[in-house]
Every structure is written in structure tokens, then in C-alpha cells.
Structure 1
């Protein structure tokens, strides 16, 4: 009787593990449908097009209905919310493209070896003089909820990740008193912000 109970328990565990793995696999793959593009799939899944292509060994942007794509790990809801909050605080009143660019700067910093490798680490990073890298952290506006535009900008920046001009900084030349930032190569100007690397 004891052997039978052990076999039942082992069988139940094996079936459970199989179902768990099947569910895990199902949540990390996507079957391409007619009209899909890598951009759409990346945006829906909060991953970058480049990462989607890399994980699936795609060298082009061409995909076919029925093709199965592995979806790489994306940012958590909390990471996206924090990123949207910094975008909202830093780029409120700026053009939508400027909001995307602010989110892109944070993502570029995460990907760079010069900064912390997490969204939270980048946003709450301390400067050499003891302040914060982002003024909304110091003045508390980081704690305000993000608007829909900032949230959309984050999703677009995530999908665009790794395809920009490599901006690691942004500043408003009318307000900035930091002379060092003026020495950085400007990559683009959007609204009141200059973006640089």
C-alpha cells in the first residue's frame, strides 16, 4: 500500500510539473498571425525589437504567419510604473517624442556599464556630490502618478530599446547650471530638452 501511495504521489507530481512547464512555455512563445510585425509583438509584450530578433535568431524584420517566436523576459509592472513616473515628472509638457526619449535615456543607462543595471538603480542613483541624478527624485515629484502619455512613451521606448542614438543624458539648456553636461555630444533636441551621450 505504501508503494502504491508513493507511485500516486510521484505520478501526480510528474503530471503537475508537465502542466506547469506547458503553461510556462505557452506564456513565453507567440504564434505570428497575419498582419503582425516585430514592432507590434515587441510593444504588446514590453520587449525590444532588437531583443526579440536576437532571441529568435532573426536577421531581418520579416516574419510569417504561423511562425513561433520566443518572447524574452520583459520589465515588471513595477519597473514600468517607476519609469513612467520619471518620464511624467521630467517631461511633463514636452512633446510625446521627448517623453519617449527620456524613457530611452533611462533604458540606455541600464544597458550601459557606466550606470546601475536596473531601472530603480538608475532612477535613484546618487551623484558624486550626494544629490540625485534626476531632480524629480530630490524634489519628490517622482511620487506623482504617471499620465497615459508617459505610460505609452515607456512602452514605445521599451520596443525601441537599443535602436536610438545612444543618449545617456538630457538637460534643459535654459535651466541647467551644470557645465560638465555642456561638454557632452548632443544627439538630438526635442522640445526644451537636449539629449546627449
Structure 2
């Protein structure tokens, strides 16, 4: 019995270093990216250094209204509430993918050193300063009421799924977006990553010439 255990441990000792070396190599590459002033985990994802966020915490996840409808009523703490409210006021009229895409932008900002490190911090950045807020509904001076229960139920489930580990597979790391109806000056400088529903999505970084 003891001999069998020793043999099994020996086999493990052969397999583990190879995996550890790969992990250490990825870590060293992430550190080099960080030293160049690039985003750590998200930048690594964009460059294929690590795998996307696992969907293990979100059983059967897909961008389908039937799947969303099958999910239990969503609730949660302050960060959940902030994300659900942002989706309600910013994207409740969007397609399901459009709502997930807006949620991606918010969570990408949370991960970025350029923005506050919490959902509520990102959403309320600049609130209280006229025309300086990041999300219009937080500083337009209009009262915000949740008057469409069905829409709230949907965006709440989207928020819960994203906070539970649903993949960010739609916007390619975007941290900005705007509607098709406007063209802010910053959009000419940033890299467009996606067009979903009524929004264009971008990440910081100058455009690469197509010539």
C-alpha cells in the first residue's frame, strides 16, 4: 500500500512542475505587460495569454431570452444593485446581448487601473458635477424611477449572471461606449471593438490605420 502511494506521488511530481512552469511563465509575461503600463488580467486575455473567465458559476449560460427567463429572481447587495440600475437606465431597451455588452464595459472598468475598483464607484464616477459623470442618468438632474417591473427583472438577472462569472465575450475588452446617435470626440482616438444594438464599443488606445 505504501509503495503504491509513493509511486502515485512520484507520478504527480512529474506532472506538476510542467504545469507550474507554464503558470510561472504566464505570470512573468503578465508582469512584463504591467511594467509597460498595460492592463494586467484583461490585457492578458486580449492577447491570448490566459483563458477567458470560466462560466462554471453560471450553469448553461448563453445569450438567450429563454435561458434568462429560466433563471431565478435576482437580488444582491450594493454592487449588484448599482449594476442592475445602470443596466435598467442605460440599456433596458437594448437586446439581451446589448445589455450584457454594457455590463461588460462596467466590469472591464472595475478591472482597469484607470477607473474606480468597484461597480458602484465606476457607475457614480463624476456624479454631482454637471456634464462630468460617466453615466448620464446619474447626473441629468431627473428623478430616476423603476417603473417597468419586467424590464427590471431582466436586467437584474443579467447583472447577477455577470457578477457570478458569465464570460465577457462580446466587446473585446471595451471600457467605453456610445449610442449610434452621437459621435463624441474621444471615439476618434479609441479603438472600436464592437457594434451591438444601438451602441458602439471602444477600448482606450489609438486606432490602427487600415491603410
Q: Does 1:116 align with 2:155?
A: no
* Change beyond 3 A, Cα 1:187–1:172: same
Q: Does 1:125 align with 2:130?
A: no
* Partner SS for 2:200: strand
Out of 57, 73, 93, which is 1:42 matched to? 57
Out of 173, 177, 185, which is 2:180 matched to? 173
Q: Does 1:136 align with 2:142?
A: no
CA distance in 2, matches of 1:85, 1:142: 13
Partner in structure 1 of residue 153 of structure 2: 148
| Cα deviation, residue 161, structure 1 | 5.0
| Cα deviation, residue 99, structure 1 | 0.5
Partner in structure 2 of residue 160 of structure 1: 166
| Cα deviation, residue 183, structure 1 | 2.2
Calculate the aligned-residue CA RMSD, in Å: 2.8
| Cα deviation, residue 155, structure 1 | 2.4
| Cα deviation, residue 156, structure 1 | 2.8
| Cα deviation, residue 185, structure 1 | 0.9
Partner in structure 2 of residue 48 of structure 1: none
Gaps of 5+ in 2: 1-53, 60-74, 204-211
Aligned residue pairs, count? 128
TM-score (normalised: structure 1): 0.56
Gaps of 5+ in 1: 1-37, 45-74
* Partner SS for 2:102: helix
Partner in structure 1 of residue 191 of structure 2: 185
CA distance in 2, matches of 1:153, 1:42: 14
Partner in structure 2 of residue 90 of structure 1: 90
**Aligned 1:41-120 pairs, distance under 5 A:** 41-43=56-58, 77-120=77-120
- Which stretch of the first structure deviates more once superposed, 82-91 or 181-190? 181-190
Any idea what the Cα deviations from partners look like across 1:20-45, whole Å, max 9, x if unmatched?
A: xxxxxxxxxxxxxxxxxx63x5137x
